[in-house]
Structure 1
Amino acid sequence: MSKIEILSSCIIKMASTTMNNGNASAISKMDLTPWDLMPLLICPIQQGLLFHNPNPMHDQFKKTFIHHLKTSLSRTLGFFPPLAGRLRATENDDGTSSFYMDCNNAGAEFTHANAPGVSVSDILDPIYVPEIVFSFFTLANISNLEGASEPLLGVQVTELEDGFFVGCSMNHAVADGASFWHFFNSWSEISRGLETISKIPVFQRWLPGKINLPIHIPPLERRNMFADFDSDQSMLQRVFHFSKENITKLKYRANAEAGTEKISSLQSLLAHIWRSVLRGRHNNNNNNKNNSSINQNPENQEIYFIVPVGTRERIPLHSCYFGNASYGATIATNGDDIFHHGLGYTAMKFHQLVNQQTKEQAIKNMENWAENPAIPSKRLSSNICVVSNSPRYDVYGNDFGWGKPIAVRSGMELKVDGRITVYPAADPGGGIDVEAYLTEGTLEAMANDAEFVESLAGICHARFTS
């Protein structure tokens, strides 16, 4: 598959007309809370949408739609001043540093690219997500800490033969998944011709009474914790589709096995995915038992699943709170526990973990971190799974004026063996798409796993078979 061609790149600043609306431009500085500071050493969020060309996408439209997107982006930035700013650090007398977002209108990056000879079907039809998708995003190979010199938002619009891809890279110290899609939704509204956005972001920081800003951060070891572990195995990305009907079956089975009615659909699905990944890793290891580089049998080691915990509803915060309002909670268990018990046992672990994340626990989590602010930099190992995003986000409502998107894909950043990204399915039936980044051997083993395949039967593409 051919490489992309960069046609142009420029800086987009907030439109003066939007800046003068009073409310949107009032913020000149955004302090960083513990939740904002925790991701400093990881990479920006990279997610984007695939569109068919308007029918027909004539030459005149091609000449104007990039200009239109730049103009609407400029207007949208006026509602989100931090995204047009830069990260700033203050050196303290005690050898620590403090950070904030300077809303100085330095601007966001806008890149226009072309992928000659690449069609929509070239993106959707392969079993594995083609590598060219990773080149549909800008701000690659940097950490959020570099937001002092790099834009906090990078947009790349890539033209395909019969469609286009809009990819956004957003500094994770300024926004979490909810805020990322809040911005994306707002941009699409302005692009459709709305004078204002439906959900005005709230930038006022929330903190427990025991915490004062700015927080003093000790010297940082500038190492990306999402840098992949050393492995001879190739890493691939694949999207699995689960219908609402099949998710309901998983939920029913999980609750029946656990003797409860409290386990949710998402908890059941995540438990099913985790068990499938572990079986895949186990079977792959057995097939490669003579390869010394393969990781140890997951049955004999401690395993972890990191789950994001949202705090907007728990605290509660304003639903339009802009920034990071989540943290990670971890299930830690021995592989034997998962291998030798059923779906209900694993799903109950997810349910119990989520139930423990009360308002009090969220506040305690933040206070404890503020007392000893350590920015994670240790590499994540291969005995872990990490879930991100949410099926509740409005992904497919992002109509820029030329129709709704047909697929969502993520970039190469924030990837580690076991990265699981969940999205609402493109169809309106209430299903969930799961984007899994795993070793090729694990994905092949999952494709031959009868229990996993059965959960996809009847709703996955024929190309699923390996």
Structure 2
Amino acid sequence: MAESSEVRILSKSLIRPSPRLCEEDGGRLIHLTPWDLMLLSIDYIQKGILFRRPPTQDADMTLTISRLRDSFAAALDRFFPLAGRLSIANLDTSPPSLSISLKCNDEGADFIHASAPSVTVSSILHSLYVPPVVLSFFPLNRALSYDGHRLPLLATQVTELADGIFIACSLNHAVADGTVFWNFFNSWSQICRSGGCPEVSIPPAIDRWFLDSCIPPIRLPFGGENDFIRRPVYPPVEECVFHFSAAAVAKLKSMVNAEMGTDGQISSLQSLLSLIWVSVTRARRLDPNKETSYMILIGCRTRLTPPLPESYLGNAVHVAATQNVTAGELLQRGLGWAAWQLNQTVALFKESLVRSCLADWVRTPSFSYACTFKPEDLLTGGSPRFNVYGNDFGWGRPVGVRSGAGNKGDGKVTVYPGPEKGSIAVEVCLSPKTLSALIKDEELMRMVSCI
């Protein structure tokens, strides 16, 4: 966990799922797919939601913390693989190789209760810059997904604030993506809100999906972690959260489609990301001849035939890159043109490309690495479709969402739904110098709204 004099850990519990019928002793072994394995050198997913303090009858928080712990345990019963650990097997081959799987051994997930009595909801919610203390609300900071063989795959920290609560989760990225993350969060809040009823709206689908040509376990051509795991050097970055009202998003979409004559073909998100891309490129003061790329994480559950279930408990995400664009061209041609480039990158994305990339990966494994963005590029994760504001634990909707230190590089952009229908929040992580210039960008800030 990040250290901060403002945050004090009050207790830490290891939560294990209830015994399951018909499970072999020691638990099942779930083989990891290329989608999972390529993220072993990436930090944990870290997201958290901000609430105002529950009603006065729970002012001492004892009952609230107990309810949260009990419902977290009940949710873990449904998502029991997340209580396991990664299992690393050195295979008797020449040259050396290894396989990495998820072992459902019920070693447990961490539940942490913390206190930050000097931090207010307003100091987080109404600050354009994300206060550094927020990073201390997250467990397992700076852990890589590979570390899941010795660390919990899932941990949560409930931090009492002066007038609110921050509930954060850290989830191993080699076993789950953002869809799984928010499905777990939604299930946990549903169980807590219902008074402990273990039924959830979207029960997880446990079995992994593999190409027909890929027989698990996948053999990695390495003798040990030093051959493929890199411990990142985290760059000095700062972050801001920009809120765009539903009206601002609709205005931006209408504007870029009118400019390009595309009759609504360019989506709201593509329109908004074009504004971010142009604004950040301007703030970076790049050489006009320097190429800039925009990488977008695209969910693949619905893009396969047959489609994967929404509840698929694993990674199903592909990176699509808009490339061969110079900084000068981007700034000269403007928002509509930038949005069209993003639109075409997504439109050209096909299932055949997904299958080809996965097959190639099995033959020649490669890995994504944390915080390695080029200083001229952007990478966007998250989605405005994730159910963030439906996480009512029994005392009302959250008022904000923030992320932890994981994967924070110069150029990381994370998208969330906003608190009102149709609104979008964008978290932008950049070098201090670039971010300082960005918040002075008039074209961007005219579209930003207060919450």
TM-score by length of 1: 0.89
1:7 partner SS = strand
Please state how far the C-alpha of 1:442 moved relative to its aligned partner: 2.0
1:244 to 239, 246, 266: 246
Q: Separation in 2 of the partners of 1:380 and 1:323? A: 24
Query: Which range moved further: 159-168 or 122-131?
Result: 122-131
2:292 partner SS = strand
Which residue in the other structure is 1:417 paired with?
410
The 3 A distance-change label for structure 1 pair 26 and 307 is farther
2:214 partner SS = coil
**Conserved in 2, the CA contact under 8 Å of 1:2 and 1:116?**
no
**What are the ranges of 5 or more consecutive residues in structure 2 without an aligned counterpart?**
none
Q: Separation in 1 of the partners of 2:41 and 2:52? A: 36
Q: Deviations over 1:280-301 (max 9, x none)?
A: 111xxxxxxxxxxxxxx34232
Which residue in the other structure is 2:425 paired with?
433
2:78 partner SS = coil
Please state how far the C-alpha of 1:251 moved relative to its aligned partner: 1.4
Please state how far the C-alpha of 1:303 moved relative to its aligned partner: 1.6
**Conserved in 1, the CA contact under 8 Å of 2:27 and 2:103?**
no
Which residue in the other structure is 2:260 paired with?
258
**Conserved in 1, the CA contact under 8 Å of 2:382 and 2:416?**
yes
Deviation >6 Å, runs of 4+: none
Matches within 5 A, 1:354-393: 354-377=346-369, 379-393=372-386
Q: Separation in 2 of the partners of 1:195 and 1:68? A: 13
Percent of pairs identical after alignment? 41
Is it true that 1:87 corresponds to 2:86 in the alignment?
yes
Which residue in the other structure is 1:215 paired with?
218
1:180 partner SS = helix
Please state how far the C-alpha of 1:59 moved relative to its aligned partner: 4.3
Aligned length: 434
How much is the aligned-residue C-alpha RMSD, in angstroms?
2.0
Q: Deviations over 1:406-429 (max 9, x none)?
A: 1100001110011111100012x3
AA of the residue aligned to 1:86 = R
**Conserved in 2, the CA contact under 8 Å of 1:42 and 1:224?**
no
Please state how far the C-alpha of 1:433 moved relative to its aligned partner: 0.5
**Conserved in 2, the CA contact under 8 Å of 1:304 and 1:385?**
yes
Q: Separation in 1 of the partners of 2:287 and 2:361? A: 31
**Conserved in 2, the CA contact under 8 Å of 1:27 and 1:81?**
no
**Conserved in 2, the CA contact under 8 Å of 1:221 and 1:377?**
no
Is it true that 1:15 corresponds to 2:15 in the alignment?
no
**Conserved in 1, the CA contact under 8 Å of 2:6 and 2:119?**
no
AA of the residue aligned to 1:47 = K
**Conserved in 2, the CA contact under 8 Å of 1:2 and 1:118?**
no
1:240 partner SS = strand
Which residue in the other structure is 1:187 paired with?
188
Which residue in the other structure is 1:329 paired with?
320
Which residue in the other structure is 1:36 paired with?
36
Q: Deviations over 1:204-223 (max 9, x none)?
A: 22122121211112333321
Q: Separation in 2 of the partners of 1:212 and 1:254? A: 46
1:299 partner SS = coil
**Conserved in 2, the CA contact under 8 Å of 1:217 and 1:374?**
no
Which residue in the other structure is 1:450 paired with?
442
Which residue in the other structure is 1:287 paired with?
none
Q: Separation in 2 of the partners of 1:414 and 1:298? A: 26
**Conserved in 2, the CA contact under 8 Å of 1:218 and 1:374?**
no
The 3 A distance-change label for structure 1 pair 210 and 281 is same
**What are the ranges of 5 or more consecutive residues in structure 1 without an aligned counterpart?**
283-296, 462-466
